[in-house]
Amino acid sequence: MAEQNTAKQLTSQLWAMANDLRGKMSADEFRDYILGFIFYRYLSERQEMYLEDLRNQNVIETHEGETLNDAYARQTQSDGIEAWREDISQSLGYVIDPEYTWASLIARIRDQSLRPDYFQAMFDSFRQNAELNATAEKDFREVFSDINLADSSLGNSTAARAKSLSNLAEKVDSIDFKDESGHDILGDVYEYLIAQFASNSGKKAGEFYTPHEVSRVLAKLVTYADPTSEGAEVILDVSKDFSVYDPTCGSGSLLLTVQKELPGSDREGRVRFHGQELNRTTYNLARMNLMMHGVDYKYMKLRNADTLEQDWPDGVDENGIDHPRAFDAVVANPPYSQHWDNTETKLKDPRFKDFGKLAPKSKADFAFVEHCVYHLKDSGRMAIVLPHGVLFRGAAEGIIRKALIEKNYLDAVIGLPANLFYSTSIPTVVLVFRKDRKTRDILFIDASQHFEKGKNQNHLRDEDIDLIFETYINRKDVDKYAHVASPDEIKQNEYNLNIPRYVDTFEEEEPIDIDEVNRQLAEVDAEIARLQAQFDAMVADLVPTEGDTCA
């Protein structure tokens, strides 16, 4: 809790700083600069820690009065920069030359020796060096591409823009990303900042951020060690690697929340992250976010692509890396009712061919469901957030829904409150899928009335999340909240999964006592008569009689 409070305080400082520095830019535009600079500082300081280890091994020697960065620069000059680039790149996945480390940047700003073109050279150098490690190249390639150094909002000249960026760098440098006990909380601060930008962006935020409490619901569901499932072993045995995939990963926050809920997730490499994201800027955010939460590039594979086009992950890539086709957990919050290319050739695609029809061109919701189900292990668990329309819409969607039910994949339907998301005020539903179900019933939960109302959005409280999770685990009827529906009930409703058909939340009104109502009306009438009499008396006192009138 102390870490969270400190992280929130630092986030408030950074947010105030961003508002102070961004000038003519919108907060949404300035996001890429502040998050990018924080990430660059993180990478540089991580490299400095690696160099510190080399100093402890006597590979680097610092002379009196020399900083570690000075020693790094001197040693690269004497040994040749190429050997150092190769060594650091193979160890960290990237390398920053001595001239462009964060320490060098801040030193140049403070002694006013910064060239106007320094920032361009700094990011160009990083991009070129990212090519040195073929395995890591995709994880670092163009990660800073959204920092537009030529944006006139920063200034009308290269020198003016460099001054604006220097101010930003100094502000970022002034923040100590540690809590009172010395723990590094940079990842948490970054996460809070992303949430702050999402809140400020309104509907645009749906492109990159799932509210944390919704992420927690999905994460708890897919990391539940169900004793009836073989998947419980990989969850409980912390020595085993756990794979998670998000086909519309946004900023990566949902993936990271799954890691937080998983037992033993503090072991390096315990969680193997896979994700896809169509938006390039958001894809860059996801890469930064995961790495700043301590995820090594070796354990994350993110892709900038359209999930519903060429399938991925799909085996060995051009670098010889074998990407798994199925995962222990699949989570998703895809764009709702998105248009997609549903040409007939997709009926041959193994992701979509077993469900009779393709999802409508104007509503890709079930296409995302099918993609996720395809990439789910037989022992895995999947949770996806969708609009309520998937529960009852007919035609092709009705056929796909029936097929999913008859294959016995659908495990639970959980209705969430309205107005939880930045991008839409509509209520949403979480669908939970498993391929190793032992029964054919479906659990329905109506959590739509369990929330805390906020100024702009509603929020799930801890007790609301716990109630959803406990009800899912217990899998029993709860009056006006949950119902376990039999296959016959589902068939009788013609595979319509609209929650009110299964969970009766009707509150019967108390019967009206007519005699009591009449008594109260009589009292009101008597009071009105009394007040009218008082009023008439007051008027009579005010109206003058004939003898009182003036001549």
**Where does the pLDDT of residue 17 fall: very low under 50, low under 70, confident under 90, or very high at 90 and above?**
confident
Q: Retrieve residue 345's tokens.
A: 């050739």
Residue 397: the pLDDT is 98
pTM here is 0.88
The Cα 41–Cα 150 span in angstroms is 21
- 3-class SS string, 175-195: CCCECCCCCECHHHHHHHHHH
pLDDT digit string (tens) for 423-469? Answer: 678 889 999 999 999 999 999 999 999 999 988 889 999 999 999 99
pLDDT digit string (tens) for 362-409? Answer: 999 999 999 999 999 999 999 999 999 999 999 999 999 999 999 999
pLDDT for residue 551 is more than 50: no
8 A C-beta contact, residue 222 and residue 259: no
Which one has a higher pLDDT value, 15 or 412? 412
Closest CA to 426 of 458, 383, 393: 458
| Distance between start and end Cα atoms, the chain | 86
Residue 182: the pLDDT is 67
Q: Beta strands 428-434 and 410-415: pairing type?
A: antiparallel
475 backbone φψ class: left, alpha, beta (φ>0; ψ -120 to 50): left
Number of alpha carbons in the 13 Å side-chain half-sphere of residue 516:
3
| Burial 19-57, CB ≥16 within 10 A → b, else e | eebbeebebeebbbbbbbbbbbbbbbbebbeebeebeee
pLDDT digit string (tens) for 307-325? Answer: 999 999 887 766 666 667 8
Residue 548: the pLDDT is 55
495 backbone φψ class: left, alpha, beta (φ>0; ψ -120 to 50): left
What does pLDDT average to over the chain? 90
**Where does the pLDDT of residue 202 fall: very low under 50, low under 70, confident under 90, or very high at 90 and above?**
low
Task: Work out the percent of the chain whose per-residue pLDDT is above 70.
Answer: 92
Q: Which helix (H) or strand (E) holds 405?
A: helix 395-406
Residue 19: the pLDDT is 75
pLDDT digit string (tens) for 522-545? Answer: 888 888 888 888 888 888 777 665
- 3-class SS string, 194-253: HHHHHHHHHHHHHHCCCCHHHHHHHHHHHCCCCCCCCCHHHHHCCCCCEEEEECCCCCCH
pLDDT digit string (tens) for 503-513? Answer: 987 655 667 77
The Cα 176–Cα 180 span in angstroms is 10
pLDDT digit string (tens) for 70-102? Answer: 999 999 999 999 999 999 999 999 999 999 999
Indicate the angle between helix axes 27-56 and 102-110, nearest 10 degrees.
110
Closest CA to 139 of 307, 284, 321, 246: 284
For residues 286-299, give the mean pLDDT.
Answer: 95
For residues 243-254, give the mean pLDDT.
Answer: 96
Place of tokens 């009779």: 356
| Burial 488-498, CB ≥16 within 10 A → b, else e | eebeeeebbbe
Closest CA to 285 of 506, 77, 39, 476: 39
